[in-house]
Amino acid sequence: MKRAYAVSQYGKCYEQYCKEYLPQQAKEIFDKAEQYYKEFVKNDMPDLGENLMAKNMLDWFTILSFYEASDHKLDGEVLLKIKQKAADKMRFLGKFVNGNKSRWPYKMFEKTYVNFNKMKKEHQDKGEWMDTWDVKINPDHRTEGFNFYLIGCPIAKHAREHGYDKLLPYLCKTDHYLAEVMHARLIRTQIEALGGDHCDYWYVGDESPALARYKDLKQI
């Protein structure tokens, strides 16, 4: 049976974790998570449209659904373990993608956000997608890697309004894992989940001299 939360990249990962570490409770957790997920989508889904960014909200609802369905056993620390395991399975990509030598991954990410901004403007001109992220591309005028800001995070807003503030920073931290697979690093100085007015992203190769200037920066 394909469950509603299966649309999220986290759905299968959580199921696998439960089968391995909570086998006697797994079926009950899946059933409860399904109901929680449907309620989150029905009652709490902002006006984000259907696009790559909107899928982030569905990931968040999936994480919350398993968190609630497990009586909070599947907490932030478990989320990090689940995401790290998923990233480890993608290590083979490092043979083909190297953030120190290749520009095309950064160009691909940039094109993705340029297209998103174009679609967002078209929809917001019609009064749609009004709750989505504001994306600023290369606001710091970086000449290396890829830099952007996300502003007005609807996930952070939902976390604050519904008492999930402590769980959200764990989700933000998983942004670092995919970068590492591609021999890159994420330099980030603030996130909305921890009180910042935006979330800043700067991806550089893991051999970049820029990393030395941020060696004492806490990974958030």
Give the span between the Cα atoms of 40 and 31, in whole angstroms: 15
pLDDT band at 40 (very low <50, low <70, confident <90, very high): very high
pLDDT for 178 equals: 86
Residue 210, number of CB atoms within 10 A of its CB? 14
The structure's pTM equals: 0.95
Using CA atoms of 113, 119, 123, 128 in order, give the dihedral in degrees to the nearest 10.
-40
Q: Rg of the chain's alpha carbons, rounded to an integer?
A: 18
Give residue-wise pLDDT tens across range 68-78: 999 999 999 99
Question: What are the φ and ψ backbone dihedral angles of 154, each rounded to 5 degrees?
Answer: -70, -25
pLDDT band at 95 (very low <50, low <70, confident <90, very high): confident
Give the span between the Cα atoms of 142 and 137, in whole angstroms: 10
Q: Examine the pLDDT at 8 and tell me if it is beyond 90.
A: yes
Give the span between the Cα atoms of 5 and 90, in whole angstroms: 22
Q: Which of 78, 75, 80 is nearest to 20 (CA)?
A: 78
pLDDT band at 93 (very low <50, low <70, confident <90, very high): confident
Give residue-wise pLDDT tens across range 143-188: 999 999 999 999 999 999 999 999 999 999 999 998 999 999 999 9
Question: What is the helix (H) or strand (E) element at residue 151, kind and residue range?
Answer: strand 146-151
Residues 27-52: what's their mean pLDDT?
A: 97
